[in-house]
Structure formats: C-alpha cells, structure tokens
Amino acid sequence: MISVSLSEWMIWLQRHDSVSISALLALALFLGLYGATEWGIARRERSRLYRLNGSLELYAAAQAPLIQAAGAGAGQELSPGQAEALLTRLLACRAASYATEDMLAQIAAYAGDLDAARLPLLLKTLERESERLCKERDKLLRRAESPGWGYSLWKGIRPAIPFLFAAALLYLIAWLLRALHGDVPLAEYGAEELVNSWSWFASALLSLLLLYPALMGIYRPNAGSKLLKGWAVFIAALFLLHLLGPEVAPYILVIQVLLFLLGFRFSGGKPRKSRPFAGHYPEEDGFGQEPNERRSAAGAGDSNPPEK
C-alpha cells in the first residue's frame, strides 16, 4: 500500500508552486460548477413539475362542470348558477402555465357568446391537453425518481459539461487576447492565412454557443425541440472538419452560418389559421350575436315564402 505523509505533500507543493495552484484552482472551479449546475437542473425540474401540477389542477377543476354541461346541452339548458360556475372555471384555465393557443381561443369564443354548441369540442380539447400534460409529468417523475441505466449515467455527466465549455471558452479568450497583444503573429500572416485564423475562431465560438444549450436541455421539450437539438449538434459537429486543414476554415464557417440561418425555418411557430371550429359561427352569418338571436334570425328567414 502506497502512503504519502503530510510533509511529503508539502515538499511536493513547494517544488511545484504554479502547477499545484493551477490544479487546485481548476479543481475548485470544477466542483463549484458541478454543484451549481446540479442544483440548477434539480431546481428547474421542480419548477417545471410545479407548473405542470398547477395546470392540471385548473384543468381538472374545469373538466367536471364541463362534462356535465356538455351532456346537458343536448337536451336541456344550463341553469344560471351552472353556467356561471362553468364560465368561472374555464376562465381560470387561462392562467394555466401550459395552456395552448387553441384552447385559449376556444375559451375566449365561448366566453364571448356562451354558445353551448362549443362545449363538446372544448371538452375534447381540455381532455387532450390534460392527457398530454399527464404524460409529460409522468416522464419527468420517472426520470427523477427511477431513471434508467443510460439516463443515470447522463445525469452524472451532464453537470460536468459547463466546466468543459468554460475551459474551451477560456482557451478561445486566451487566443483572442494573445492575438490582440501581438503574441500570435497574425501580422506576419498573409491575407489568406489571416482569414483562415479568424474563421477558425468564429467557427469555434459559434459551435460552443450552439452545442451548450443542446446538450444541457435548458428549455422545455416540445414537438420541434428534438429537431432543433439535432440541428444544433450537427452544425457544431462541422467544427471537426477543421482537422482537414486551416484552408477549409472559411468554407466551414460559411456553411455553419447558412445552416444556422436555415434553422429559423424550423423554429418559427405556425400561427393558427382563421378557420371556424365546431360551434363557431362566421361573422357574416351572425357571429357575435347571442345564440337565441341567431336561432330567431334563422327562424325568421325560414318563415319567408320563396320568391317566384
């Protein structure tokens, strides 16, 4: 068994002052970043779980009176108390953190005219959104409490990623400072070599900025998040092509910038089209009127004799 006394450690530290100090600073930075990142990930997951539970509570509170109202709408009218309670619960759903634009539009439409014909579609939308949030909550709890083998390994590695990115960013900053102070002989380079050097620097910086959020999973997953993450990793992986030689650096940077700009087509949200849904009456057919007024107008139109 190898044993080292305290005096031997002190002698070694005295002989290697710069190395020991650098190692201790790097270790302290690593431990600090690792602990802060792990705490931040856990705090972000707890906040997300809290918002999911809050949204589900609002949906569940509105779902029971909505089921009753949708079932009663076919044969009987709602009482004023039931209609008021239903409207109150539906309006409360607008405060849900994860309420979708489609559901908000349907709630606003029902609140505008109190048309019971909208309730069946609104009930289906509310059930679909509740099921989606339940699946997301179950997945979050499963990862936190009983993660799989691969995800457990990833949970241990992910807090160390900020330290690696900090080291890479520190290297780029040191290169930039040396270049500005003349330690890197850029002035002796030709125009082509100068373009290659700065293209390499810009490509490395862009790769770090794209790769970090993709690996850390900072944002909430959605329908297009996997595509955007894969796209960001692909753009960052193009930096490895610099191993082919410095002469390809400008071309790699141009390709990365073009692919980055192309990513805006994937991230742009598609606006909801102005189309009528079930229970929606177009404006020219009397939208904005009360349901009784529309029915009376329709009855008056049917009573007119046809023109000969």
Q: Is the pLDDT of residue 145 over 70?
A: yes
SS3 assignment, position 150? helix
What are the domain boundaries of the chain? Answer: 40-146, 159-267
Residue type, 272: R
Q: Is the pLDDT of residue 104 over 80?
A: yes
Pick from 53, 210, 66: nearest CA to 127: 66
Q: In this structure, what DSSP letter does residue 98 have? A: T
Percent of the chain at pLDDT exceeding 90? 38
Supply the mean pLDDT for the chain: 79
Q: Is 216 exposed, middle or buried (0-12, 13-18, 19+ CB in 10 A)?
A: middle
The count of other CB atoms within 10 Å of the CB of residue 64 is: 12
Banded pLDDT at 307 (limits 50, 70, 90): very low
Pick from 225, 220, 226, 251: nearest CA to 238: 251
SS3 assignment, position 93? helix
**Which whole-number Å values give the CA distances from 28 to 4, 35, 172, 228, 282, in the listed order?**
22, 11, 21, 34, 65
| Contact criterion met (CB below 8 Å) for 60 and 69 | no
Distance from C-alpha of 254 to C-alpha of 92, rounded to nearest angstrom:
49
| Contact criterion met (CB below 8 Å) for 62 and 90 | yes
What pLDDT digit, counting tens, does each position of 6-37 carry? 566 566 556 656 667 777 888 888 999 999 99
Q: Say what the pLDDT of residue 276 is.
A: 44
Pick from 46, 60, 3, 48: nearest CA to 222: 48
| Contact criterion met (CB below 8 Å) for 133 and 59 | yes
What average pLDDT does range 225-245 have in this prediction?
90
Angle (CA) 36 41 47, round 5°:
120
Crossing angle (nearest 10°) for helices 80-92 and 17-72: 160
Q: Is the pLDDT of residue 156 over 80?
A: yes
| Contact criterion met (CB below 8 Å) for 94 and 107 | yes
Q: Is the pLDDT of residue 38 over 60?
A: yes
Q: Which two tokens stand for residue 175?
A: 């290169």
Q: Is the pLDDT of residue 146 over 90?
A: no
Q: Say what the pLDDT of residue 181 is.
A: 72
Q: Is 18 exposed, middle or buried (0-12, 13-18, 19+ CB in 10 A)?
A: exposed
